[in-house]
């Protein structure tokens, strides 16, 4: 039961209108009886929400300094042309084919209505008020707003290498010179990628780019004392380039974000429009109601920083902000917004923090869907000061969120608690971690027989003119060691972060080998140590068996190797059936290419062009008769896994190890898929694709 179907909209996304039935009084906060709430009839207005996919009124979209053209970015040279879908309504623009900046194309303009008339959504610090006409959507993303907000812009890292000839006239010098505030980073120096039409694609691209920059900054900064916080460096660069999705606050679901999505940094939540404050736990917006400002909460992050109990997955008791155990909390800011949300009964997004021991800081954020505040009260905290408490209850009918995470955590602690198990370890102890075989779907008893192997079986002894060479690093290879020949071999830098995440896709990664002086603890030995995650082979609805993980997986994490028999040619069996377990390096998809993006945004020239990096290798592997968990990984045109050639025990560069890594953060229990690619003109070998991706090519293999 994968929760993330590529095509099926979640129940929450259909939720365009807030239900008006919960009626509550404006129960006074002071004094409040501890632990109880007053419910009585009320005239509290229902809050109706219109999805942000309303059309833009002509001219409401401000001029945007960032232009891109298809093909400007190398890897998009053969991508479909970006459709300038606002061109018709933007006929007064200088250029009729100005593509839409990402943050605007995702539809940040929205309006809220209630039975009493329009309820205008106004950003907190917006200095303008839109005319209160019902028909006009209020655009909260205007450039004038963002520029006038006066936020401190950090100069980005050196940006060069690309230029955009087309400079905007709207943001003229005269306009700019009037402003005293620090001006926004000139975006024209950065090439923005075309915003994908699909909101999910847009969100994924933002997160992927963020993490690519973050990893690269981390790698660069390791040798210096300066420059901490790669997450902030990456997000600052992206924010100043307006590379973000779903800008502008909104109530309810965020396009492209699905329940269960996981995040590793608060800034990721900000970049995709899920939760704006970089530290604050409560995000709220000012609405107007009866000509009065009325704050309502839109999202909260429950990261366990306050004294909360978290036993029930559908209930969240959230503490108000402020006080800091040194003072009474006050009914202001977020606390006031939550109180107002109680009465307005609007949906609030909840992002739950959870412990993940695979991560250094041990924290992960899970989007858990929409909740409503059902009660509030005041109690004395441990320090004796007043603390606001808000009881959130999860709206029914939504896909499982944090409950999936809690379930898999239990299984990891005690694998026997996993039900519907056919085989507790399909590898029979060959892998470091047992691999469950399960079937939640039908009565199939398991895949047909094969020999489980963690090693590749070569046709003949691997021959190479060169012999293995090793580094002379003692103990472990260090990032600043100029004498490390292995770092040298990888282009001067160690290819993995200190915690073992791949930093950038390369044609081949060279890990330390048997000839190296360093120990097995060396960070340049990742894939050679084998499987680290809790995988399970599971029965899919309609695609046979598949692979997924109990652990949440961070982008860049090594998953497993494609093992099997190296073969010369693809054989059919006695019955003329094709070998369904072939791996070839024939095709690399867009998303894998994009994985390397980011360093370009840092001003680094692309060192290797796509054609060099992704030139195919002669190796063909069949996992039909023998193999490992990789043989169960299905194809998808929107994959979450890619392959990366790695060398660590021989030098024959035509026959590298094929290692799989996570493209993006992958929630537990999400099916792992990679792009099988197309073997070109081999008719008859193509199979109908069932991946349900909006970008599905329709066939593969």
The CB-of-16 to DNA minimum distance in angstroms stands at 24
Secondary structure of residue 535 in the 3-state scheme: strand
* 139: nearest Cα among 114, 127, 122: 122
Phi-psi region of 219 (alpha: psi -120 to 50; beta: other; left: phi over 0): alpha
Q: Which is nearer to DNA, 220 or 437 (CB)?
A: 220
Any alpha helices (H) in 420-537, and if so which ranges?
485-489
> Within the chain, what is the greatest distance between any pair of CA atoms?
85
CA–CA separation, 269 vs 266, rounded Å?
5
Q: Which is nearer to DNA, 326 or 688 (CB)?
A: 326
Report residue 665 as tokens. 């953060």
Q: Angle 525-526-529 (CA atoms, 0-180°, nearest 5)?
A: 90
Residue 350 near residue 370 (C-beta atoms within 8 A): yes
Q: Which is nearer to DNA, 90 or 302 (CB)?
A: 302
Q: Which is nearer to DNA, 200 or 554 (CB)?
A: 554
Element (H, E) at 485: helix 485-489
Q: The dihedral of CA 645, 647, 650, 652: what is its sign?
A: positive
User: Can you list the positions of beta strands (E) in 31-170?
Assistant: 48-49, 112-114, 117-119, 121-122
Q: Which is nearer to DNA, 302 or 636 (CB)?
A: 302
Secondary structure of residue 178 in the 3-state scheme: coil
Report residue 228 as tokens. 């901490």
CA–CA separation, 261 vs 555, rounded Å?
13
Residue in the block written with tokens 């021991």:
357
Counted residue by residue, the chain has a size of 701
**CA 152 vs CA 125, 148, 155, 191, 411: distances in Å:** 14, 11, 9, 22, 46
Residue 671 near residue 548 (C-beta atoms within 8 A): yes
Residue 122 near residue 149 (C-beta atoms within 8 A): no
Report residue 697 as tokens. 């090519």
Residue 450 near residue 640 (C-beta atoms within 8 A): no
Residues with Cβ within 8 Å of 135's Cβ and at least 6 positions away in sequence, in order, are: none
CA–CA separation, 536 vs 404, rounded Å?
15
Element (H, E) at 145: helix 143-148
Both ends of the chain: CA-CA distance in Å? Answer: 25
Report residue 637 as tokens. 């045109």
The CB-of-692 to DNA minimum distance in angstroms stands at 32
* Binding footprint of DNA on the chain (CB under 7 A): 123-125, 149-154, 228-232, 235-236, 239, 265-267, 270, 276-282, 301-306, 308, 318-319, 321-324, 333-334, 353, 357, 360-363, 521
Q: What is the dihedral of CA 48, 51, 53, 56, to 10 degrees?
A: 30
Residue in the block written with tokens 């026959």:
655
CA–CA separation, 504 vs 208, rounded Å?
12
* 668: nearest Cα among 437, 397, 361, 400: 400
The CB-of-519 to DNA minimum distance in angstroms stands at 9
């Amino acid at each position: 039961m994968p929760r993330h179907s590529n095509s099926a909209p979640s129940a929450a996304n259909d939720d365009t209108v807030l239900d008006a039935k919960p009626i509550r009084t404006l129960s006074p906060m002071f004094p409040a009886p501890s632990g109880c709430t007053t419910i009585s009839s009320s005239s509290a207005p229902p809050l109706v929400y219109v999805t942000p996919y309303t059309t833009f009124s002509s001219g409401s979209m401000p001029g945007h300094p960032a232009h891109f053209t298809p093909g400007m970015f190398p890897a998009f040279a053969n991508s479909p042309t970006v459709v300038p879908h606002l061109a018709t309504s933007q006929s007064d623009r200088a250029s009729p084919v100005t593509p839409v900046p990402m943050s605007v194309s995702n539809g940040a303009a929205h309006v809220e209505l209630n039975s009493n008339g329009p309820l205008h959504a106004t950003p907190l610090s917006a200095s303008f008020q839109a005319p209160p006409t019902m028909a006009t959507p209020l655009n909260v993303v205007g450039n004038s707003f963002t520029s006038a907000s006066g936020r401190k812009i950090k100069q980005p890292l050196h940006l060069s290498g690309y230029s955009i000839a087309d400079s905007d006239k709207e943001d003229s010098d005269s306009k700019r010179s009037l402003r005293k505030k620090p001006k926004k980073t000139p975006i024209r120096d950065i090439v923005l990628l075309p915003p994908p039409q699909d909101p999910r694609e847009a969100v994924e691209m933002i997160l992927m780019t963020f993490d690519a920059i973050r990893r690269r900054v981390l790698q660069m900064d390791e040798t210096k004392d300066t420059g901490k916080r790669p997450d902030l460096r990456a997000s600052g660069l992206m924010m100043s380039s307006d590379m973000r999705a779903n800008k502008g606050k909104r109530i309810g679901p965020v396009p492209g974000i699905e329940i269960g999505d996981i995040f590793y940094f608060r800034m990721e939540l900000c970049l995709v429009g899920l939760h704006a404050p970089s530290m604050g736990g409560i995000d709220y917006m000012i609405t107007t109601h009866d000509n009065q400002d009325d704050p309502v909460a839109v999202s909260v992050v429950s990261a366990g920083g306050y004294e909360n109990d978290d036993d029930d997955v559908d209930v969240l008791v959230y503490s108000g902000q402020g006080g800091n155990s040194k003072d009474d909390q006050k009914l202001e800011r977020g606390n006031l917004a939550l109180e107002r949300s109680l009465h307005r009964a609007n949906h609030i997004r909840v992002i739950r923090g959870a412990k993940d021991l695979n991560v250094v800081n041990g924290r992960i954020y899970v989007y858990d869907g929409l909740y409503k505040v059902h009660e509030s009260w005041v109690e004395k905290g441990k320090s004796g000061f007043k603390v606001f408490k808000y009881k959130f209850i999860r709206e029914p009918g939504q896909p499982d969120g944090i409950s999936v995470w809690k379930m898999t955590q239990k299984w990891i602690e005690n694998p026997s608690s996993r039900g519907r198990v056919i085989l507790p370890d399909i590898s029979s102890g060959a892998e470091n971690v047992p691999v469950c075989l399960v079937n939640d779907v039908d009565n199939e008893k398991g895949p047909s027989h094969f020999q489980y192997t963690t090693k590749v079986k070569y046709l003949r002894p691997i021959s190479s003119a060169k012999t293995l060479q090793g580094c002379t690093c003692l103990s472990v290879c260090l990032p600043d060691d100029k004498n490390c020949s292995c770092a040298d071999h990888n282009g001067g830098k160690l290819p993995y972060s200190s915690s073992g995440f791949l930093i950038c896709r390369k044609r081949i990664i060279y890990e330390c080998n048997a000839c190296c002086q360093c120990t097995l603890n060396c960070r340049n030995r990742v894939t050679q140590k084998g499987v680290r995650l809790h995988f399970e082979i599971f029965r899919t609805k309609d695609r046979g068996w598949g692979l997924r993980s109990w652990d949440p997986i961070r982008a860049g994490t090594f998953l497993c190797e494609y093992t099997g028999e190296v073969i010369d040619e693809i054989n059919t069996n006695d019955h003329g059936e094709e070998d369904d377990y072939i791996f070839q390096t024939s095709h690399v998809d867009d998303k894998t290419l994009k994985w390397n993006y980011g360093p370009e945004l840092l001003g680094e020239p692309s060192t290797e062009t796509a054609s060099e990096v992704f030139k195919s290798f002669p190796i063909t592997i069949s996992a039909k008769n023998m193999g490992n968990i990789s043989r169960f990984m299905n194809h998808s045109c929107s994959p979450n896994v890619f392959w990366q050639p790695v060398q660590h025990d021989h030098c024959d560069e035509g026959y590298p190890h094929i290692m799989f890594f996570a493209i993006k953060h992958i929630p537990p229990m999400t099916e792992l898929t990679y792009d099988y690619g197309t073997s070109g003109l081999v008719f008859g070998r193509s199979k109908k694709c069932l991946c349900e991706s909006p970008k599905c090519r329709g066939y593969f293999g």
